[in-house]
């Protein structure tokens, strides 16, 4: 009879490596890098809203403020600003700066809105589909509509900016802005960023469809099946039941909160 020292216990089979501990697929790594680039452009581009609002306020307010001096002569704030700081505060210049900053803001956050899934979706069919059908719809939509459309308008935007640069285009107004090729180049760059956003989402959806079904990662435009009911298009669903009424008077809120504490106790 074999001794206890000679007896061997077969080793238990090694457990499979959890999907989360496995190396991230190459397609997902590329998708993440593209997404970070789009987010970087979008976050910095969103700051254009500050000068856009500022110039709009100055343009509207400065034209409405007037006063009379001791000799009865009429003066205006806008005339004063132009005489002190220069032509930048002329009405035409301010209005063109407004739409330049607005165009830049829109162009640079277009792709950011897609990767953050903040664009409005008017859809009566997609919301009732299963996860895989939604993913297929996203993949086919990007492949046959989003990317071809972006490539088309990028081509025209490049010709638009190049022609403006070669002819040294200026404003149609004689007192407007010069170097119009700058804002047209920003438009071109924003459209390229939107294309990069589409490629990032395409790679991610392709991994979700054809990769390991047990792997989970943060989706940009879809929700995993187990998130159904808790999230809507990447946003956390707000449950009104059980929450305090934000419009209630402070005393009513306090009484409601106290009642909940006593009830739970």
Q: What is the pLDDT of residues 166-176, one digit of tens each?
A: 999 998 887 78
Give 28's pLDDT tier (boundaries 50, 70, 90). very high
Higher pLDDT, 11 or 42: 42
Q: What is the pLDDT of residue 243?
A: 53
Higher pLDDT, 246 or 39: 39
137 near 201, Cβ under 8 Å? no
Q: What is the pLDDT of residue 10?
A: 46
Q: Is the pLDDT of residue 79 over 90?
A: no
List the beta bridge partners of residue 231.
228, 236
Place of tokens 């996203």: 138
Give 5's pLDDT tier (boundaries 50, 70, 90). very low
Mean of the pLDDT values across residues 207-230? 87
**Spatial distance between the Cα atoms of 231 and 197, rounded to a whole number of angstroms:** 22
234 near 204, Cβ under 8 Å? no
Mean of the pLDDT values across residues 134-147? 95
Q: Is the pLDDT of residue 207 over 80?
A: yes
Determine what percent of the chain is predicted with pLDDT higher than 70. 77
How many residues are present in the chain?
A: 265
Mean pLDDT of the chain: 82
Q: What is the pLDDT of residue 4?
A: 47
CA within 13 Å, CB half, 82: 16
Mean of the pLDDT values across residues 52-78? 82
Give 165's pLDDT tier (boundaries 50, 70, 90). very high
Q: What is the DSSP string of the chain?
A: ---TTT--PPPPPPPPPPGGGSPPPHHHHHHHHHHHHHHHHHHHHGGGHHHHHHHHHHHHHHTT-EEE-TT--EEEHHHHHHHHH-GGGSHHHHHHHHHHHHHHHHHHHHHHHHHTT-S----SSGGGS-HHHHHHHHHHHIIIIIHHHHHHHHHHHHHHHHHHHHTT---SSTTS-S-THHHHHHHHHHHHHHHHHHHHHHHHHHHHHHS-TT-----SS---GGGBTTEETTEEPP--TTS--TTS-HHHHHHHHHHHHHHH-
Q: What is the pLDDT of residue 134?
A: 92
Q: What is the pLDDT of residue 236?
A: 62
Q: What is the pLDDT of residue 139?
A: 96
Q: What is the pLDDT of residue 138?
A: 94
115 near 35, Cβ under 8 Å? yes
pTM beyond 0.85: no
**Spatial distance between the Cα atoms of 198 and 80, rounded to a whole number of angstroms:** 48
Q: Is the pLDDT of residue 46 over 70?
A: yes
Mean of the pLDDT values across residues 64-87? 78
């Amino acid at each position: 009879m074999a001794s206890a020292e000679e007896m061997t216990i077969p080793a238990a089979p090694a457990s499979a490596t959890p999907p989360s501990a496995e190396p991230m697929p190459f397609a997902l790594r590329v998708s993440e890098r593209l997404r970070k680039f789009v987010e970087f452009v979008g976050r910095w581009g969103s700051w254009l809203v500050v000068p856009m609002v500022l110039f709009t306020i100055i343009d509207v307010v400065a034209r409405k403020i007037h006063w009379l001096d001791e000799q009865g002569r009429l003066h205006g704030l806008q005339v004063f600003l132009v005489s002190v700081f220069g032509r930048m505060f002329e009405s035409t210049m301010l209005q063109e700066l407004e739409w330049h900053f607005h165009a830049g803001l829109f162009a640079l956050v277009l792709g950011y809105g897609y990767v953050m899934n903040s664009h409005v979706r008017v859809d009566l069919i997609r919301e009732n589909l299963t996860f895989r059908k939604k993913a297929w719809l996203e993949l086919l939509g990007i492949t046959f509509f989003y990317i071809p459309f972006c490539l088309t308008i990028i081509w025209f935007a490049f010709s638009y900016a190049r022609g403006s640069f070669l002819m040294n285009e200026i404003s149609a107004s004689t007192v407007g802005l010069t170097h119009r090729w700058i804002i047209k180049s920003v438009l071109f760059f924003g459209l390229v960023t939107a294309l990069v956003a589409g490629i990032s989402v395409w790679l991610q959806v392709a991994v979700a469809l054809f990769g390991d079904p047990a792997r989970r990662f943060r989706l940009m435009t879809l929700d995993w099946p187990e998130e159904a009911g808790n999230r809507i298009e990447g946003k956390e669903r707000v449950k009104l039941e059980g929450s305090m009424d934000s419009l209630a008077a402070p005393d009513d809120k306090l009484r409601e909160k106290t009642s909940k504490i006593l009830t739970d106790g």
